[in-house]
């Protein structure tokens, strides 16, 4: 099943990137998180294979121009039939019955909307200073969770901080049938935290729509949550859980107590708090040590004097043996062909000349046991190559991408070479699909070269 994130005109590149990253980290082991534009929503039969549709932050007016009519009719029918929807900031404005935005300013927008998941008015901005395509009016604002809505999750706190940039509040949400307030803007933020009649402003709501549900948030829970509050990852998990999604296992224990609001909140490393584990070293080993030596010599031919193999998609650092110190590399940001920022880090490739690495280095896969079994079941006289040499990493980006997108690197690997992993953070499938990598699976990709004389023949894989 898929989780679709709208990426058409009007979406904020930052919100889109954060939304995709957060969803992949929290539900990516169970769902394929994909982007879809207005044409796809109108023409593709996406409803049957979609578990959640998300419209992220950006600009509401382009959403209405491109989605009004056929797309909104399909979206509403999908949710009413039991689907799930998440509208974030501009996506929440777009999903309300009426928008009232920055009245009396050059940014003013007023009007009705077609989705009407919230049958009331979304009014903004809650805190002044908003400027399109800018962080000028951005804030880490406090919200107060409605405790009974999150009681089963035992979060250990009711107040938390979350990213805000131009969002609205849902007028009289507590009075709307089928609408539940999940969080209020905190009155201690120092802005206009109360309505004119003294009542609080709803920041996050859940709306019943036929047999389905729509989650609307004026704030941005999708932004890397622990950078604002160490308890936030569990809040985001709770929101997705309320939508009925299967979640990946958390990488950190749940918060046991309420955060100290007077303390300085420390931003944790992104890989540690978002459910996306850090990449681990790659270990090269073979059933026969001579194979490993031959591959290592071939790879050295394309490496720099420092042992770096610089390829279009990845850079590999050759490490002479498991006994050598494995360096820690700093990740860098690069932009994909789709205009999405992603982290890149040098991949350490450890050469194991005498069998596999110590079991402590690869606790999820016993390479030495694998080679022993291979020797027992495969007679040497058959000269078979599949699986003779392995490149294993407990956590990798994608076994396929490392081979397919690094041409020179792949050309120096023998046929039958296998790249395998326990966890993929960006696994690839056919076409636009990702490869879901739930715990317990052993993902692998293989180098297979066709005979030259068969270059015009069709390849059939069984």
Residue 398 has pLDDT above 50, yes or no: yes
Placement of tokens 């080993």 in the chain: 285
Mean pLDDT of 247-265: 45
Distance (Å, rounded) from C-alpha 315 to C-alpha 245? 35
Q: What is the chain's Cα-based Rg?
A: 25
pLDDT band at 431 (very low <50, low <70, confident <90, very high): low
Distance (Å, rounded) from C-alpha 202 to C-alpha 118? 12
Residue 256 has pLDDT above 90, yes or no: no
Residue 211 is predicted with a pLDDT of: 97
pLDDT in tens, 126-182: 988 888 877 777 888 999 998 888 766 655 567 888 899 999 999 999 999 999 999
Tell me: cis bond preceding 125? Omega within 30 of 0 counts.
yes
pLDDT in tens, 337-377: 444 445 578 999 999 999 899 999 999 999 999 999 999 98
**What sign results for the dihedral spanned by CA atoms 335, 270, 239, 127?**
negative
Distance (Å, rounded) from C-alpha 142 to C-alpha 162? 6
What percent of the chain clears pLDDT 90, i.e. is strictly above it? Answer: 54
Residue 131 is predicted with a pLDDT of: 84
pTM over 0.85: no
Beta carbons of 26 and 247 less than 8 angstroms apart: yes
Beta carbons of 113 and 243 less than 8 angstroms apart: no
Residue 85 has pLDDT above 90, yes or no: yes
Distance (Å, rounded) from C-alpha 409 to C-alpha 402? 9
Tell me the domains of the chain and their CATH numbers. Answer: 2-273 (3.40.50.880), 282-454 (no CATH)
Beta carbons of 185 and 141 less than 8 angstroms apart: yes
pLDDT band at 201 (very low <50, low <70, confident <90, very high): very high
* Close Cβ partners of 317 (under 8 Å, ≥ 6 residues apart): 307, 308, 309, 327, 329, 346, 347, 348, 349
DSSP per-residue string spanning 108-123: -EEEE-S--SEEEEEE
Question: What SS3 state is found at 56?
Answer: coil
Placement of tokens 């990845």 in the chain: 314
Q: Considering only CA atoms, which of 350, 344, 342 is closest in space to residue 330?
A: 344
Tallying the residues shown for the chain, one arrives at 462
Phi, psi of 461 (to 5 degrees): -105, 130
pLDDT in tens, 8-28: 999 998 899 889 888 988 888
pLDDT band at 257 (very low <50, low <70, confident <90, very high): very low
Residues pairing with 260 in the sheet: none
pLDDT in tens, 91-105: 999 999 999 999 989
Q: Considering only CA atoms, which of 44, 118, 110 is closest in space to residue 76?
A: 118
Count other Cβ atoms within 10 Å, centred on residue 19. Answer: 29
């Amino acid at each position: 099943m898929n989780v679709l994130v709208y990426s058409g005109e009007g979406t904020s590149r930052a919100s889109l990137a954060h939304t995709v990253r957060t969803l992949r980290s929290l539900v990516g082991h169970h769902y394929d998180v994909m982007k879809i534009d207005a044409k796809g929503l109108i023409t593709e039969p996406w409803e049957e294979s979609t578990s959640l549709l998300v419209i992220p932050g950006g600009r509401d007016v382009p959403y209405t121009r491109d989605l009004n009519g056929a797309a909104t009719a399909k979206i509403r029918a999908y949710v009413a039939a039991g689907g799930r929807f998440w509208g974030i900031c501009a996506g929440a404005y777009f999903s309300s019955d009426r928008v009232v935005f920055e009245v009396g300013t050059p940014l003013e927008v007023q009007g009705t909307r077609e989705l009407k998941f919230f049958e009331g008015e979304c009014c903004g901005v809650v805190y002044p200073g908003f400027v399109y395509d800018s962080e000028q009016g951005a804030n880490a604002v406090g919200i107060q969770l409605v405790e009974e809505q999150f009681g089963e999750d035992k979060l250990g706190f009711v107040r938390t901080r979350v990213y805000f940039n131009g969002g609205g509040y849902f007028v009289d949400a507590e009075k709307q049938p089928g609408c539940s307030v999940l969080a209020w803007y905190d009155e201690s933020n120092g802005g206009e935290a109360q309505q004119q009649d003294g009542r609080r402003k709803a920041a996050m709501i859940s709306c019943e729509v036929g047999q389905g549900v729509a989650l609307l948030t004026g704030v941005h829970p999708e932004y890397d949550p622990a950078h604002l509050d160490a308890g936030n990852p569990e809040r985001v998990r709770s929101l997705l859980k309320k939508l009925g999604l299967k979640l990946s296992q958390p990488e950190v224990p749940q918060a046991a107590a309420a955060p100290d609001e007077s303390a300085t909140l420390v931003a944790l490393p992104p890989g540690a708090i978002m459910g996306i584990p850090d990449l681990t070293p790659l270990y090269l080993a073979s059933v026969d040590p001579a194979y490993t030596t031959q591959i290592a010599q071939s790879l050295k031919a394309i490496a720099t004097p420092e042992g770096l193999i610089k390829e279009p998609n990845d850079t590999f650092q050759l490490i002479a043996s498991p006994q050598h110190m494995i360096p820690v590399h700093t990740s860098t940001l690069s932009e994909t062909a789709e205009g999405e920022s992603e982290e890149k880090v040098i991949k350490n490739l450890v050469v194991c000349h005498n069998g596999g690495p110590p079991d402590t280095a690869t606790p999820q896969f016993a390479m030495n046991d694998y080679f022993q079994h291979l020797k027992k079941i495969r007679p040497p006289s058959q000269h078979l190559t599949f699986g003779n040499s392995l490149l294993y990493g407990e956590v990798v980006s994608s076994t396929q991408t490392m081979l397919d997108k690094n041409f020179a690197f792949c050309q120096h690997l023998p046929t039958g070479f296998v790249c395998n992993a326990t966890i993929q953070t960006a696994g690839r499938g056919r076409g636009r699909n990702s490869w879901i990598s739930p715990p317990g699976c052993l993902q692998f990709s293989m180098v297979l070269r066709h005979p030259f004389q068969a270059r015009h023949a069709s390849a059939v894989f069984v």
